[in-house]
Structure 1
Amino acid sequence: MTDKRFERKKRIKALIYDKHYKPMKQKEIGYLMQVDPDDREEFVSILKELVEEGSIEVTKRGKYKPISKEILEGTFTCTQNGFGFVTVEGMKEDFYIHEKNMNGAFHDDKVLMEVLNDLPKTGRRKEGKIVKILERGITTIVGTLQKNQNFGFVIPDNQRFDSDIFISKEECKNLTNGFKVLVEITDYGDERHSPEGKIIEVLGHKNDPRVDILSIVKAYGIPTEFDEDVQRQVKQIPDEVHAADYKDRMDIRGCPTVTIDGEDAKDLDDAITLTKKGDHYLLGVHIADVSEYVTEYSPLDKEALKRGTSVYLVDRVIPMLPYQLSNGICSLNAGCDRLALSCIMEIDSKGKVIDHQIAETLINVDERMTYTSVAAILDGDEQERKRYKDFVDMFELMKELSDILRERRHERGSIDFDFPESKIILNENGRPIDIFPQVRNAATKIIEDFMLCANETVAEDFYWREIPFLYRTHDIPDGEKIDRLQAFLQNFGIYLKINREELHPMEVQKLLTKIEGTPEEPLISRLTLRSMKQAKYTVQCSLHFGLSTRYYCHFTSPIRRYPDLQIHRIIKENLHGDFTGKRYAHYEGILPKVAEQTSKTERRADEVEREVEKLKKAEYMKNRIGEIHKGVISGVTGWGIYVELPDTVEGMVHVSTLPGDYYYYNEATYSMIGERTGKEFKLGQHVTIKVKGVDMLLKNIDFELVEDEENGQNQWDKTNCK
């Protein structure tokens, strides 16, 4: 919009909203504003635009007047049931959108919404009506092709996009039914016409190995290839580090150094050195110096920011950086000279960091260790202790320091939710053959403790330097959620000293300690976790509630996370004395955008990882229909109860299939209660289920409760339980 048109639009709107203005027709407004004949077409266009965007409205008699209803801008979320919600920034509650009030909006569109005057009864959600679509949220979509003689349709995988997409005969002439395709939407259609699109990528047939996971990746818009500009830059990066070129770095290649990672890890971005002098520990956390190769605004840097993070899926890793860097020159591979950015900390016997140094270093890892091996050494495995005899003392010292650091965090109120992650094993065709919980061992806790310590030390250092930086923050939980949690806990006779305005993590930690080992532990732990907010990246160093610390950042994984790479640049400029007023202004300008982008890509990666996990769990259970398993109720909603099995698979028992009574949901106690019998199903309760069915499209697993025929009670002791 030109400045001239913008000013005219502003003046017209100001006139209509003037307190002395009376509704007028188009000609009357034009006469009053003395619109030149040459400008009449633009004047009419501006009036139309103001109406469409919801700034003004026009009566049945054609008179223009100020808007009489509240118009808000927000993001539309469509549900699988046909209705939707609009989320307005700054407002706690979403607005319900009935199917008849969607006005052609699709999931994730930015919209203008009219707040309806006839609000629902007290206690129900406010309602709205979409009046204009400002920006489409979904421009490409993955789906399955269904073809007939003259045209085709793509049925979207995304159930929130509630319309098939028309594909012309020419677009799909070389394909057959069942192919997974990526479609660009060219026309969003209307009440009488379906959306139209063109195929921009054929992913493979839906039954081909690994096409299912690729379809999810493409649906979320995660790049899987690096373009030519990136590849050209990669070719210019050396394959080896020549120590002679880095004489100005601290050379610590003589220090015993190890990496500790999972068996399958190839992007090794942290190494450890540890010694002890008297009562003090000297801990070195050495992080791959990725910023030496990925320079600001280079093709590699732009691509890394776009991706934001590496995505770790069941059968593949989609890296933030090309494998030549992530598995090569940047990876701290054993026996290779490597560049690192090190945080070397002196820690006293109480776990307090009393001194530290951040330096550019030259390192050479002696041993590439796995969590399994280190845990075995600490458990006294003679074979492993003999194999790594030169490092056994170091590993025992690591365990000693790790325990001290963990205890210090516990004393200040750090919260530790120890829910196991799922490990899914696939065969050569990408089909799941085993699923089991992956529990943290002593070695994983050691690395976690050391990384937390380094991240916190770096964040505090740069907070007090008062220069722009990127922090990892975790806000205090929402007051209403805490109120609901408190009300629920009172059912168990638990009363906490919780002030919703000044909640301290210590109180949450005390709660978890209090319930440890009790039958209610899984139930209360889950509900407490659900009361927490999501961590994010910010330029303000406010708080990390979960860790109970004022200072925290992500410093230790620059190969797989962009925020770490970003702060490495700031740290190095500061070490070199290059942090001038100009650079201060530069970072002050770009960091808010980096924080927003990386928080967004982190959420996207989390969603993709969850979707792939759900897919493979559903596929795994598809071959187990009819089996009987033991489980624990992990969730209760108005439409049913969720049951989690020991292998971490979760399915739902629909409320309509609950036997012997009509059940209703009691939100206050998170339980399902029989209206006649008073029988109750609640979180944490042990039940026995039968696998009823699997919906691969929705990735849903359906269970039904198994009862004892004699007394109608749900039993554990079925002979054919897993």
Structure 2
Amino acid sequence: MLLELMYDKNYRPMKFRELCVLLDVSKARRYELETALNQLVDEGKIGISAHGKYGKPELFTLKGSFSSTSRGFGFVTVEEKDNDIFIAPDNTLGALPGDVVLVSVISHANGSRREEGRIVRILEHTLTSVVGTFQKNKNFGFVLPDNQRILRDFFVEKGKDMDAQNGDKVVATILDYGNEHKNPQVEVTEILGAKNEPGTDVLSIVRSYGIPEEFPQEVLDSLDSIPEEVTEAEKIGRRDMRDFHTVTIDGEDARDLDDAISLTFENGIYHLGVHIADVTHYVKEGSLLDEEAKNRGTSVYLADRVIPMLPRKLSNGICSLNAGTDRLALSCLMDIDEEGTIVNHEICETVICVDRRMTYTMVADILDGAESPEEYKDFVDDFKLMKQLSDLLRKKRSGRGAIDFDFPESKIILDEKGRPIEIKAYEHSAATRLIEDFMLLTNETIAEEYYWLELPFVYRIHETPDEEKLRTFATFLNNFGYSLHLTNHTIHPKELQKLLSRIEGSEAEGLISRILLRSMKQAKYSPENLGHFGLSAKYYCHFTSPIRRYPDLQIHRIIKEQLHGTLSKSRQEHYEHILPSVCDSSSKLERRADEAERETDKLKKAQYMRRHIGDIYEGVISGVTAYGFYVELTNTVEGLVRAANLDDDYYIYDQEHYQLVGEMTGRTFSIGQSVSVVVVDADTLTKQIEFLLYYPEEDWSKGETRHGKRKSKTHRK
């Protein structure tokens, strides 16, 4: 009766007393009514407002997007809320990652505790297919998803499996989404190959994230009108800069070269030219090529392949600034004084001819004083001048408070079958830093000009951290004897930079740096200039990589229209209309690419460490949880030491200090601490690596170990 009443179209939300009067409930039976109401609220069949009024759940719910974790719980992102709503495993209603849902808030945020909710209805499923391992039974099968955040197996009826064999990697289309009590049902639509077949592993990740691989034939056919080389007619009206000493500096295996540098110095002024491939000359707005680039958003760089945003005829051909060939560019020419200040700049369409294709290694060797090959001798002074300007710009950027997180990146070397044969930390050199410094300066210069022109634009923004996260971080710092100065509940990036300088070289450096990084927001694209907190920049954009990033290509289009005088009022209104969607889409596609790259790296690291079971490594604790701690090796591989295998004591998780503490011995494990570990497991399905602490007295070659004699337990302090 209660449900019938509340779902009646004429029913309005009521408080408990009003309901009692309406239903003519005696005082003696009011407890029964209240119990029944609370049960229906717990089941999600009735909602309750913040003011205690009862009604349909939809009346008190929020619409958002669900994202899950491998541990069963999840979060709902609501557009009008700054923070996500936590969803416990029992309250997900069987939602899948990406589902659009209605969530009812069941407890509000309190201190460091998140707002918690319950999903009451799934409005829309965005997942249409799943990639995973096929498990065959006699009369049916299952697909076990590769995505560890999908916690459900997918049922396959007999006859809908394409004769897939046990262990095959497959793509399956979802036919029925099931519910919290019933498995979803799928039909196998593609067999990618056996799980151990070369390339199948990475292909599974690509398909799992829905990253388009091959270009549609109609897009490739549209390239027929694009020339192989720059024609004389295309050079007309452009500034000719082919006589300038111009170089590209990239990685050894780079093929899409979209930025080149020229630099001279006279009368106390550096004349820096940053020349960017003029991709929009060939990719016209609204064309099939443009729509495909927008749908891809970015090139994706995986361990064994590159999935380009643009077809290779453009990305490796006419748009790539290959040495010895004429190329069209959009150049930012900057005059910089000896204080590192830009005194004049100009943006113009140019034609350039790169003199030398340099790699980071070559330039780093030259800057280190190595003997230069004859073909580069005429450019040695150029590179030294670049290093001089780079140091000047870095010092100036540091002076205003730009934050420099220097965590090691991975370099994974594969054999011809895609098997990892070496993993090492990718070292940043003077050569990589100077290119970074010049690109940052260019991006800031472009963004500032177009901000003051008050024209529609795409900015790269990084917002100030949340006040609550800052307060939590400041409290955490006090444990190490450091303090953080907050002004009006916010902070200037220079304060964080000073902090990083103070902790440099200390045992707490790794811990504090990582916790600080987790406290910051994620950079994204926006039509509104909100500044870049991490760079301490008022104006910032992405201008320098239009071959591999759609936002860069988009703002090139705006800049060229402004240069040509065709950015009319109607065109400005056009951009104001489309840019919010472009920014939102590009930000999401960037995150998709980042996640696919991380998953591929984790997979290759697991495959590599699987061949090193029993090997001993030195590492540093990179994270601590109630169930153990993570250790990062010098080769950037990270694995878990389970608390259950720390058998020398009973360990308590001290959440406030991010450490495990031995109850009897007082022994602690905290982030930044050096430890020796032995590899005991590497699961290529979950991509998880497991370590045990290594004790020198143990003879691992004979399988002798003190571990496993008894299991310890942990709990939160």
Q: TM-score range by the shorter chain?
A: 0.7 to 0.9
Contact map agreement 1:482 1:500 (CA 8 A) in 2: no
Q: Distance in 2 between matches of 1:190 and 1:488?
A: 42
Instruction: Decide which of 195, 199, 210 is 1:210's aligned counterpart.
Output: 199
The amino acid of 2:424's aligned partner reads F
> What's the TM-score, normalizing by structure 2?
0.88
Report the Cα distance in structure 1 between the residues aligned to 2:111 and 2:243, rounded to whole angstroms.
Answer: 71
Checking the alignment, whether the CA contact within 8 Å between 1:243 and 1:362 is kept in structure 2 is: no
Amino acid at match of 1:553: C
- The answer to whether 1:307 aligns with 2:276 is no
SS of 2:377's partner is coil
| 2:382 maps to which of 377, 383, 394 | 394
Cα 1:97–1:510 change in 2 (3 A) is closer
The answer to whether residue 333 in structure 2 is matched with residue 341 in structure 1 is no
Q: For residues 497 and 164 of structure 1, do their structure 2 counterparts lie closer, same or farther at Cα, with a shift above 3 Å needed?
A: closer
Per-residue Cα deviation, 1:626-671 (whole angstroms, up to 9, x for no partner)? 1111111111112211111111111011111123111122122111
Q: Do the aligned partners of 1:271 and 1:332 also contact (CA within 8 Å) in 2?
A: yes
1:278 to partner: Cα distance? 1.1
What CA RMSD, in Å, does the superposition of the two structures yield over aligned residues?
Answer: 2.5
* Aligned counterparts of 2:367 and 2:109: Cα–Cα separation in 1: 62
Distance 1:466 1:196, change over 3 A: same
Q: Percent identity?
A: 57
Distance in 1, matches of 2:655 and 2:417, equals: 44
Displacement of 1:698 in angstroms is 1.0
- Where does residue 658 of structure 1 map in the other structure? 646
Question: Residue 129 of structure 1 aligns to a residue in which SS?
Answer: strand
Match of 1:454 among 436, 442, 446: 442
Counterpart of 2:347 (choices 351, 358, 363) is 358
The aligned residue for residue 103 of structure 1 is 93
The DSSP-based 3-state class of the residue aligned with 2:479 is helix
Conserved 8 A contact 1:346-1:353: yes
Matched ranges for 1:230-241 at <5 A: 230-241=219-230
* Correspondence 1:59-208 to 2 at 5 A: 70-92=60-82, 94-116=84-106, 126-190=115-179, 193-208=182-197
For 1:590 and 1:121, locate their aligned partners in 2 and report how far apart those are by CA, in whole Å: 39
Offset from partner CA, 1:658-717 (integer Å, 9 cap, x none): 23111122122111111222111111111111112112211001111123559xxxxxxx
Matched, 1:417 2:417: no
Task: Tell me the CA shift for residue 95 of structure 1.
Answer: 4.2
1:250 alignment partner in structure 2 = 239
SS at match of 2:542: coil
Match of 2:454 in 1: 466
Report the Cα distance in structure 1 between the residues aligned to 2:370 and 2:87, rounded to whole angstroms: 61
Q: 1:173 to 1:293 in 2, by over 3 A?
A: closer
Which SS does the other structure have where 1:297 is aligned? coil
Q: Which letter maps to 2:280?
A: S
In the other structure, the counterpart of 1:47 is none
1:570-649 aligned at under 5 Å gives the runs 570-649=558-637
Aligned equivalents of 2:634, 2:425: Cα separation in 1: 8
Distance 1:122 1:550 in 2: 31
How does the TM-score come out when normalised to structure 1? 0.87
Is the Cα–Cα contact under 8 Å of residues 57 and 104 in structure 2 kept in the other structure?
no
Letter in 2 for 1:231: L
Partner of residue 541, structure 1: 529
Q: Is the 8 A contact 2:14 2:55 kept in 1?
A: no
Preserved CA contact (<8 Å) 2:333 2:345: yes
Q: Secondary structure of 1:382's match?
A: coil
Bigger mean CA offset, 141-150 vs 356-365: 141-150
Question: Are the aligned partners of 1:242 and 1:337 in contact in 2 as well (CA < 8 Å)?
Answer: no
Cα displacement (A) at 1:517: 2.4
**3-state SS of 1:405 partner:** helix
Cα deviation, residue 541, structure 1: 1.1
Partner of 1:264: 253
1:560-598 C-alpha deviation (Å, 9 max, x unpaired): 000000000000000000011100100000001001000
Q: CA shift at 1:233, angstroms?
A: 1.1
Three-state SS of the structure 2 residue aligned to 1:391 is: helix
Does the aligned pair in 2 maintain the 1:544–1:550 contact within 8 Å? yes
Counterpart check, 1:497 vs 2:467:
no
In structure 2, relative to structure 1, the CA distance for the partners of 1:551 and 1:184 (3 Å cut) is: same
* Contact 1:77/1:108 (<8 A) preserved: yes
Secondary structure, in 3 states, of the residue corresponding to 2:101?
A: strand
> How many residues are aligned here?
662
Equivalent-residue separation in structure 2 for 1:190 and 1:598 (angstroms): 32
Residue segments in structure 2 that go unaligned for 5+ positions in a row: 1-7, 20-40, 49-53, 699-717
Distance apart, 1:396 and its partner CA: 0.8
Counterpart of 1:439 (choices 423, 427, 450) is 427
Map of 2:307 onto structure 1: 318
Deviation at 1:191, TM superposition (A): 5.4
- Structure 1 stretches lacking a partner, 5+ long: 1-11, 24-50, 59-63, 711-722
**Is 1:298 matched with 2:280?**
no
Answer whether contact 1:474 1:535 (CA < 8 A) is retained.
yes
1:240 shift after superposition:
0.6
The answer (yes or no) to whether the contact 2:467–2:490 under 8 Å persists in 1 is no
Distance 1:72 1:623 in 2: 48
Cα 1:703–1:358 shift into 2, 3 Å: same
CA contact (8 A) 1:479 1:500 kept: no
Q: Report the alpha carbon displacement of residue 281 of structure 1 after superposing the two structures with TM.
A: 0.6
Contact persistence 2:57–2:120 (CA under 8 A): no
1:487-534 CA distances to partner (integer Å, 9 max, x unpaired)? 222222222323363311111111111122233322222222222211
2:26 counterpart residue number: none
Distance change (3 Å), C-alpha of 1:592 and 1:262: same
Are 1:367 and 2:356 matched, yes or no? yes
Aligned to 2:711: none
TM-aligned CA distance change 1:235 to 1:193, over 3 Å: same
